[in-house]
Chain A
Amino acid sequence: MKILVCISKTPDTTAKIAFTEGNTKFDENGVQWIINPYDEWYALVRAIELKEKDPNAFIHLVTVGSADAEPIIRKALALGGDEAIRIDSNSNDSFYVAKQIAAIAKEGNYDIIFTGKETIDYNSASIGSMLSALLDMPFVSLANEFNYNGNIATVKREIEGGEETCEVNLPVVISCQKGMAEQRIPNMRGIMAARTKPLKVVSPVEATATTSIKKFDTPPAKSGVKLVDPANMDELVRLLKEEAKVI
């Protein structure tokens, strides 16, 4: 079973979100980088859990990013990937990124392609769906359980107002969310092993970005909290009705 896990580098969840160069660039000053939580906690760890049950499985990691993404990839290898591929490009256009990953996926003939449900920086939630279209594979989004038996995968996914279980033939693209796997932290043995695991760097294939970021803005700050006496909830109801007009 060949599993490909897409890994993205994102700012830490507590990072200060600020912009430079006339609000056209994210200010990376002092920012700590992490593996996008959905990619790590759910996509990667589920792949590792599957490999633990199936000795014939192996896990390749792929990221689109410049050399400064390597610590993140090493951490993913330390958690349990077998080999990693870094496509050397800094694009943040989803289509461009998906084209790059699709090229790797075609070459590697993977049975399962896992992505996180979205990244916590650009929140586009697009790569999995785009990959499925580029590779002409089925796509199951927002999966919270995944198993396979032979060539058939059983996936539980979130739907509007509930959950649905479905069966799908491999190969398949899956976007992963909470429920897929138990969070893990890398251990010393994993960290040591990761140092010598293969990390291949490849050049991007020809692709055209379809969008570009013109500028960033931050939302206006709240004007300040209005405190209401805990003994006077009628007043809070009045404010919500007459001032905020939300109930």
Chain B
Amino acid sequence: MVLVYIDQADQQIKKSSLEAMSYGAAIAKQLGCEVAALVLGTVQDNLADLGKNGAQKVYHLKNESLNALDVKSYSTLIATAAKNANATVVVFAHNINGKAIAPAVAVKLEAGLVTGASSLPNTENGFVVTKTVFSGKAFASIQMETPIKVIAINQNSFGVVAYENTATVEEINIPIPTPSIKITKVDKVVGEIPLTEASLVVSGGRGLKGPEHWGILLDLAKALGAATACSRPVSDSDWRPHHEHVGQTGIQIAPNLYIAIGISGAIQHLAGVNRSKTIVVINKDPEAPFFKAADYGVIGDAFEVVPALTAAVLKSKAAN
């Protein structure tokens, strides 16, 4: 059995978990075994719909106290559910929660672990999974040597796959451990697309000269329905919040489209974005290193090019 941990934010299933579900279903097909989802907490989504991403069964541990991440109790519950289901592969999304929980679950299951996986396992000769290493500058093929395997799949690497199933939902009962942490305050950023889940990202660097000039970038992001990001000096100078900082020492993202505006393309910046499917670079300096890593380039002044691009996007949307 392949068991996929389905993760939620604000009682809604995350896109990265639907991707993990699709990935888990593909592994199950490869191994010729069943695939089930595991949901903790209360969610508003219709759980039977996880069948549309490949689940045959959904195990649901329905309890409001499980709506906020507590690694100690989550990992105990997930490991117990995996044992009860005789899971040989446990899949997570390599997102904020998955990164925190999967390694603890691996320890509790005495399982080998690959985080940041970027491919389906190769089972011709053992069980080998590819993962990104050196911040996206290379891949490593990892042989997993244990009977149980835990895999956390990179966001935006496998895709969300559509299936025609509906899943049967089964409520399960596992004693819930005493919470190990107490949440005292939650600050949500409202109305923004979370950067790690976004398929389109517009990002700005020092070339925009100051926070007061971010309007042109935000307009473009809005026209596209994109999330926003920035280079490190931009967040270090507090022009933009820290959670927008991408790169080797910020967050690593792999959207379908990354538009870099006034960013030189330093090696540490590229490390965070080089797995993007398509990269557009807007820079006034034709020698900017970023052009070497780009698919499309515009050599020009951002203050003219970006508003023109926004207008062109809106025009194209209106025409459809």
**Which of the candidate stretches A1-9, A75-83, A198-206, A239-247 sits at the interface with the other chain?**
A239-247
A54 contacts B by Cβ under 8 Å = no
Provide the bound-state CA to CA distance between A170 and B9, in Å: 27
B295 cross-chain contacts in A, Cβ below 8 A: 222, 225-226, 244
Provide the bound-state CA to CA distance between A125 and B104, in Å: 11
Q: Quick one: which of A95, A178, A216 contacts B245, CB cutoff 8 A?
A: A178
B139 contacts A by Cβ under 8 Å = yes
Q: Are B146 and A230 in contact (CB under 8 A)?
A: no
Q: Are A225 and B134 in contact (CB under 8 A)?
A: no
A129 cross-chain contacts in B, Cβ below 8 A: 71, 75, 99-104
How far in angstroms is the closest Cβ of chain A from B49? 20
How far in angstroms is the closest Cβ of chain A from B216? 13
A192 contacts B by Cβ under 8 Å = no
Q: Are A161 and B296 in contact (CB under 8 A)?
A: no
Provide the bound-state CA to CA distance between A228 and B296, in Å: 7
A66 cross-chain contacts in B, Cβ below 8 A: none
B309 contacts A by Cβ under 8 Å = yes
Q: Which residue of B lies closest to A124 (CB)?
A: B115
A100 contacts B by Cβ under 8 Å = no
Q: Are B242 and A144 in contact (CB under 8 A)?
A: yes
Q: Which residue of A lies closest to B7 (CB)?
A: A160
- Interface majority SS (helix, strand, loop, mixed), chain A: mixed
Q: Which residue of A lies closest to B99 (CB)?
A: A125
A-B contact count (CB 8 A): 275
Q: Which residue of B lies closest to A19 (CB)?
A: B138
Which residues of A, 103-161, contact B by the 8 Å Cβ criterion?
118, 120-130, 132-134, 136-142, 144, 154, 158-161
Q: Which residue of B lies closest to A41 (CB)?
A: B249
B33 contacts A by Cβ under 8 Å = no
A196 contacts B by Cβ under 8 Å = no
Provide the bound-state CA to CA distance between A167 and B180, in Å: 9
Which A residues lie at the B interface, using CB under 8 A? 11, 13-14, 17, 19, 37-38, 41, 94-95, 98, 118, 120-130, 132-134, 136-142, 144, 154, 158-169, 175, 178-179, 209-219, 222, 225-231, 233-234, 236-241, 244, 246-247
22 contacts between A and B (CB under 8 A): A17-B134, A37-B249, A95-B112, A120-B135, A123-B134, A125-B103, A129-B75, A133-B105, A141-B100, A158-B96, A159-B96, A162-B186, A162-B188, A210-B106, A210-B145, A212-B143, A216-B139, A219-B136, A225-B295, A225-B296, A237-B309, A240-B257
